[in-house]
Amino acid sequence: MPGKFFNSHAPFNIVLIGQTGSGKTSLLNLLLNINQIADFKINSKTLNESLRLYNNVSLEMGSNGTSMNSKTSDCQDYSTKFEKYTLRILDTPGLADTRGFTHDQNHTKSIIRAIERLEYVHCIILVINGRESRETEGLKYVLEEIFAIMPREIQSNIVVVFTNVNNVLKLNFNISTLTKYVQKEIQHYWLIDNPICELEKAQGKLRDDRRLVADEKTIATLTNSFQRTVSTIRDMYNTTSHFPSIGSNAFHKLYKLKEQIEQQYLNLTSEHEDLMRQTQRIQEIQENIKLFQKKKITSMNFNKTELTEKTVLEPTDEHNTLCAHAGCHHNCHLNCYLPLTLEPGAEIFKGCAAMDSTGLTCTKCGHSYKDHYHVKSKWVTKQERRYYIDADTEKEFNSAKTDEERAMVALKSLQQQLNRLETNILELQNRLLELLKEYKKVGLRRNYLALIKAQDSYVQMSIKTFRGDPKEKVHQNLLSWKTKLELMIELSRGKDHTDL
């Protein structure tokens, strides 16, 4: 139900997303207990009492009491109210878990499923530790994974909460860093330093050192912290309540479209490699026929068949890590436990079980982690019988009276086979380009650009490894495809070109 704004009768749906250790759980506690915080009166008496939290979501700690580990691999939603707002807050698993990539498994799917249950989303709150002075590798990974599933419609509904800071002078993080992910400047952000933590810190000091007393200055500081936080959250709700809701089908559509592009890309690369092999085979046969025509070989079996091997993709239920290096068809890690990513050669592949101890080289195929990708398919080698004479020219071949006539028919048949292969490749290319353009319409541009660049890299590799005559149609076809992709890269960067 896109376009639906906040009203007091339907829940205002918020999705919290952040890296493990970003303060997301702390923020969730604030949002769920904002009424208690608003009503809490700080004085010398209450400073010795614990603030009663009706909802207390805890962060699961490691055995040493210091590791920040995501509590659950599933999304959980909570219902609460604040003033005129009826809220439904979806808490997502903290990503970039310090226990390793295995604990990030299926988080993206989990988020998509949970959003589908919400039916619509008003606001995405990205939670970032405001004390961080730079974009860490962990945060970069989280942002890449999350924004890959964000439809374009949600772009203006993304806001940021910086935790552990309460004013811009204390904010170390450069907010402009997020522009490359959201593809526009962040319009709305808030700074929140958890007042409950400040209260508990003050209570701890008073408890540990009886000489300390709760003076008026301490009470005033804590009171101001509570009031400021309530005001900040009120402002956040007032601002985001004007956001139109985005139907969950937009998220689902983008996710499924990514999978289609992924599958189409792999089909295309497989067909291209098969075309290269068949082209070379047909050229060799054509040369033999020409030698026969020139009487340089005395006999030839035009009815000959060949049993060849063809590597094809078969769908699987789970995603796998495969190698994209030219000519490599290794299933490097079936049922890969890493979270699914559409970015070939991403840093995440360093953590795949197929990599060596350095994370740089695959132990299965010997190629770099940068050559690897995820797909819900696996390579399977099948035997295929191929004929010099195809069914379309068989009758004509049988009617031929001399070997010279049969040679001409055989050449014609081989050329027709080659033409059909080239037509199939063009159809796959066009379908892929259409999917990419559709992804551009519904997804954020950064991810769209990454997809095109992946295709462009493959084409350049194919051109480089092509062994035939550069004037041949196959090579010209590759050059044409490369030109189209490069034009789409320019289009995605906003340059003025007529669309393909």
The percentage of residues in the chain with a pLDDT greater than 90, rounded to a whole number, is: 16
481 and 406 in one domain? yes
As for how many domains the chain has, the answer is 2
> Residue 363: pLDDT above 60?
yes
What is the mean predicted confidence (pLDDT) over 282-288?
A: 76
What is the per-residue pLDDT across 270-280, written as a single tens digit (0 to 9) for each? Answer: 676 677 677 77
| Residue at a domain's end among 225, 244, 263 | 244
User: Tokens at residue 309, please?
Assistant: 């091997």
Specify the pLDDT at position 448. 55
> Residue 7: pLDDT above 70?
no
Residues 6+ apart with CB under 8 A from 436: 261, 448, 451, 452, 455, 488
> Residue 72: pLDDT above 50?
no
Lowest mean pLDDT of 30-44, 160-174, 291-305, 426-440, name the range: 291-305
Torsion of Cα atoms, 428 then 432 then 437 then 440, to 10°: 170
Highest mean pLDDT among 134-148, 244-258, 351-365, 433-447: 351-365
Lowest mean pLDDT of 160-169, 323-332, 440-449, name the range: 440-449
User: What are φ and ψ of residue 57, in 5° steps?
Assistant: -90, 120
What is the mean predicted confidence (pLDDT) over 289-298?
A: 73
Lowest mean pLDDT of 61-75, 254-268, 389-403, name the range: 61-75
Spatial distance between the Cα atoms of 149 and 137, rounded to a whole number of angstroms: 19
Output the DSSP codes for 349-380: GGGSTTB-TTSSBBTTT--BGGGEEEEEEEEE
Spatial distance between the Cα atoms of 403 and 438, rounded to a whole number of angstroms: 52
The percentage of residues in the chain with a pLDDT greater than 70, rounded to a whole number, is: 73
Is residue 135 included in any domain, yes or no?
yes
450 and 311 in one domain? yes
Output the DSSP codes for 442-471: HB-HHHHHHHHHHHHHHHHHHHHH--S-TT
Is residue 1 included in any domain, yes or no?
no
pLDDT higher at 312 or 55: 312
274 and 345 in one domain? yes
Specify the pLDDT at position 471. 64
Output the domain CATH number for residue 45. Answer: 3.40.50.300
236 and 276 in one domain? no
Is residue 127 included in any domain, yes or no?
yes
278 and 239 in one domain? no
> Residue 26: pLDDT above 60?
yes
Is residue 206 included in any domain, yes or no?
yes
187 and 294 in one domain? no
Where in the sequence is the domain holding 424, given as residue range(s)? 253-492
pLDDT higher at 456 or 41: 41
Specify the pLDDT at position 498. 38
Specify the pLDDT at position 188. 94
On average, the pLDDT of the chain sits at 76
Highest mean pLDDT among 66-70, 220-224, 229-233, 267-271: 229-233
What is the per-residue pLDDT across 190-199, written as a single tens digit (0 to 9) for each? Answer: 999 988 888 8
Specify the pLDDT at position 115. 84
What 3-state class would DSSP assign to 48? helix
> Residue 353: pLDDT above 90?
yes
pLDDT higher at 262 or 384: 384
Is residue 3 included in any domain, yes or no?
no
Is residue 226 included in any domain, yes or no?
yes
pLDDT higher at 392 or 130: 130
> Residue 359: pLDDT above 60?
yes
Q: At what angle do helices 403-442 and 473-492 cross, to 10 degrees?
A: 10
What 3-state class would DSSP assign to 269? helix
257 and 237 in one domain? no
338 and 355 in one domain? yes
155 and 107 in one domain? yes
What is the mean predicted confidence (pLDDT) over 289-303?
A: 70
> Residue 499: pLDDT above 60?
no
> Residue 378: pLDDT above 80?
yes
260 and 240 in one domain? no
396 and 288 in one domain? yes
The separation between CA 22 and the C-alpha centre of its own chain, rounded to angstroms, equals 21
Lowest mean pLDDT of 118-122, 352-356, 427-431, name the range: 427-431
Is residue 70 included in any domain, yes or no?
yes
Residue with tokens 């078969």, as numbered in its chain: 314
Specify the pLDDT at position 458. 61
> Residue 143: pLDDT above 70?
yes
| Residue at a domain's end among 191, 224, 244 | 244
Highest mean pLDDT among 48-62, 182-196, 314-328, 392-406: 182-196
Specify the pLDDT at position 354. 95
Is residue 499 included in any domain, yes or no?
no
Specify the pLDDT at position 367. 92
- Cα within 13 Å of Cα(456), Cβ side: 16
99 and 234 in one domain? yes
| Residue at a domain's end among 244, 263, 285 | 244
